[in-house]
Amino acid sequence: MNSLSFLKQMAHDVRHQKMRTALTVLGITWGTVSVALLVAFGEGLEAKIRQQQAGLGENIVIAWPSRTSLPYQGLGKGRRIRVNDEDIQALRREIPEANFSGEFSRQSSSFKREKVRLTPDMSANSPIFAVMRNVIPAAGGRYINDLDMDRRRRVVFIGNKLKTDLFGDGEGVGETIMIDNTPFLVVGVLQKKGQDSSYGGRDEDKAFIPESSYRGLFSERYYENVIFQAKDAPSTPVVTKKVYETLARRHKFDPTDKEAIAMWDTTEGAKFFAIFFGIFRGFLAIVGSFTLIVGGIGVSNIMYVVLEERMKEIGIKLAIGAKPRFIQTQFLLETLTITAVGGALGFLITIGVMAVFPYAGLDEYVGTPKASALVLLSTSALLGLIGFIAGYFPARRASMLDPVVALKLG
């Protein structure tokens, strides 16, 4: 049988089984959409959450000097630990495999600009802070630099929401604001970013100034917290241990006393989400696959119906010398064709949904669905496997018919 006669035979079968064929194709289509979209939405949601996590900083650790909880070398517990610039310099010297920045925080400073009066959170730190915390300037501005630090310049970098509160639709950069009656030049505005966690307010609402200028204005020596980032993320636990050991040696407390320096290791959250979303994607894939399997069962059923209706035709072909393999191949190709049509429609619907979804504005909440090459290949492979299994058994039964019995039943 050539390709043309095969297509004619298939068209004949479809005309006689319109409803069953349509429902079967629909089942395969829905199954394909289920697998592809569920996994695509899972990937989009994961990317969105990771992006939100990165708003705080990637693979950073925030450390808060506190009080000792263990006695050490004759010193009692309950001693307050304070970290200053000398400690930061020591950490940088002794742990070169990580970046460090101290941070001062202030919530009571008055910001004035014409008739606007605000008291936003203010952070004073070093230039490397912006790199670790993903504080990225919008076009036309910059963050605090080393020259600002060396010359104790009165410059300020402000969050995008704070900029709107102070300047409305104005640019902000190049303007002067009064901070506690001291003029500061705005050198940059935060580029809008997602941020689902913080330890002192969202960056969009904050102001950032050089720590050297802060010390000169407010005569403070001790940092409220220290932020560090291992240059190689997997080595974060090793770096954290070294930080405890270095500060314990300088301030004479037990290096195993975790309460002396409280730490928030954000890499732990990243590990949890990696495991969670791996399981979540697997669950979505299983749910979608079962839907696709149901469609495959429908394909198998309709092929059994076709077999019953074409019993006489099969008997004639076998009687005049057609080989069983020929009959089996014919049925199998018809099954795979129906599966392919349903799968193609499913992929088209999936692509259409992913293209339209961002315009609905919902991606802000659940992310933009992404159909990676792995998703498409996996779904296609699953479709092919289901189509083959669904068609194999009816095809095998057809090829094993006795010609006399087939003609009698037909």
**pLDDT tens by residue, 80-90:** 999 999 999 99
My answer on whether 252 and 128 are in the same domain is yes
Distance CA 227, CA 102 (A): 6
Say how many C-beta atoms besides its own lie within 10 A of residue 151's C-beta: 12
pLDDT the model gives residue 363: 66
Residue 149, pLDDT > 90, answer: yes
pLDDT tens for residues 175-233? 999 999 999 999 999 999 888 888 888 999 999 999 999 999 998 999 999 999 999 88
pLDDT tens for residues 232-249? 888 999 999 999 999 999
My answer on whether 242 and 111 are in the same domain is yes
Mean pLDDT of 35-41: 81
Q: Smallest Cα–Cα separation from 398: which of 265, 319, 306, 274? A: 306
SS3 124: strand
Residue 317, pLDDT > 80, answer: no
My answer on whether 329 and 222 are in the same domain is no
My answer on whether 297 and 352 are in the same domain is yes
My answer on whether 160 and 279 are in the same domain is no
My answer on whether 321 and 189 are in the same domain is no
* Window from 92-96, 116-120, 286-290 with minimum mean pLDDT: 286-290
225, 251, 266 — which closes off a domain? 266
Q: Smallest Cα–Cα separation from 327: which of 24, 16, 72, 9? A: 9
My answer on whether 175 and 286 are in the same domain is no
My answer on whether 239 and 309 are in the same domain is no
Q: Over the chain, what is the mean pLDDT?
A: 85
**Helix, strand, coil tally for the chain in percent (to 5):** 60, 15, 25
Structural domain count, the chain = 2
239, 266, 293 — which closes off a domain? 266
My answer on whether 15 and 135 are in the same domain is no
My answer on whether 278 and 352 are in the same domain is yes
SS3 256: coil
pLDDT the model gives residue 211: 96
266, 301, 333 — which closes off a domain? 266
Residue 68, pLDDT > 80, answer: yes
My answer on whether 39 and 107 are in the same domain is no
Mean pLDDT of 76-101: 95
What is the residue-wise DSSP string for 133-191? TT--BPTT-----HHHHHTT--EEEE-HHHHHHHHTTS--TT-EEEETTEEEEEEEEBP
My answer on whether 291 and 327 are in the same domain is yes
For the ranges 227-231, 271-275, 299-303, 326-330, the one whose mean pLDDT is highest? 227-231
Mean pLDDT of 314-324: 73
- Encoding tokens for residue 207? 């102001």
Domain of 304 in residue numbering reads as 3-54+271-409
If one compares 257 and 5, the residue with the highest pLDDT of the two is 257
